């Protein structure tokens, strides 16, 4: 029996992102993000109800500023006291785990989808999903981009505008494009 494109995505195998089942899941995430971004703050609270229900895991005290976008939502795990500032984007084709007390600045982008390098296969809309893990007490500055498959250790800092192309060790500060360790 062959796997569905969703099952391939969840297994970290190459899959076609233009699939009816995946389209339905993305639409559900778009609707939840839209609700979150358009409710009056007094009605929404820290996070819109559809968005909270969509996430795989979301601590009670998570706070997400409006405008927010996610690809599916179902792969997002948010620990206690997590804060996502305005304009954050999480393309969660694979699990995205953000640990307790971590903060993401405005317009931080987290990508799990990685497209095929072969141009003929890329034309077939093939991609592979690679998880992103952000530890506890991490601070990611505004406009930073976290690429597929990255792990950022506890207590790390990612400078504003950085592009993280490699894992970041716990307690390390990285800056730049590509992000490099900031000398002490």
Residuewise pLDDT in 10s, the chain (184 residues): 899 999 999 999 999 999 999 999 999 999 999 999 999 999 999 999 999 999 999 999 999 999 999 999 999 999 999 999 999 999 999 999 999 999 999 999 999 999 999 999 999 999 999 999 999 999 999 999 999 999 999 999 999 999 999 999 999 999 999 999 987 7
The per-residue pLDDT for 48 is: 96
Q: Tell me the CATH architecture of domain 5-181.
A: 3 Solenoid (2.160)
Give the separation between CA 30 and CA 25, rounded to whole angstroms. 9
The per-residue pLDDT for 161 is: 98
- Concerning whether 36 is annotated as a catalytic residue, the answer is no
Strands 76-78 and 57-58, by their bridges, are parallel
The per-residue pLDDT for 17 is: 92
Give the separation between CA 62 and CA 85, rounded to whole angstroms. 11
From the list 5, 31, 32, the residue with the least C-alpha distance to 20 is 5
3-class state of residue 52 by DSSP: helix
The per-residue pLDDT for 53 is: 97
**Prediction pTM value:** 0.95
Domain ranges of the chain: 5-181
The per-residue pLDDT for 98 is: 98
The per-residue pLDDT for 183 is: 78
Q: Which of 36, 69, 115, 125 is catalytic?
A: 115
The per-residue pLDDT for 89 is: 98
The per-residue pLDDT for 88 is: 98
From the list 64, 67, 102, the residue with the least C-alpha distance to 81 is 102
């Amino acid at each position: 029996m062959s796997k569905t494109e969703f099952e391939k995505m969840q297994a970290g195998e190459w899959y076609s992102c233009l699939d009816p089942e995946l389209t339905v899941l993305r639409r559900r995430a778009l609707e939840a993000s839209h609700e979150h971004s358009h409710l009056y703050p007094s009605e929404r609270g820290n996070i819109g109800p559809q968005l909270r229900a969509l996430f795989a895991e979301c601590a009670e005290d998570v706070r997400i500023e409006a405008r927010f976008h996610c690809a599916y939502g179902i792969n997002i795990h948010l620990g206690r006291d997590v804060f996502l500032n305005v304009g954050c984007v999480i393309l969660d084709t694979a699990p995205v785990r953000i640990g307790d007390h971590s903060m993401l600045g405005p317009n931080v982008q987290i990508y799990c989808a990685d497209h095929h390098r072969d141009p003929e296969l890329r034309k077939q809309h093939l991609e592979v999903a690679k998880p992103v893990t952000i530890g506890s007490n991490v601070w990611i500055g505004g406009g930073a981009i976290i690429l597929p498959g990255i792990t950022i250790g506890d207590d790390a800092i990612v400078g504003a505008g950085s592009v993280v192309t490699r894992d970041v060790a716990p307690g390390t500060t990285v800056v730049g494009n590509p992000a490099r360790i900031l000398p002490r």
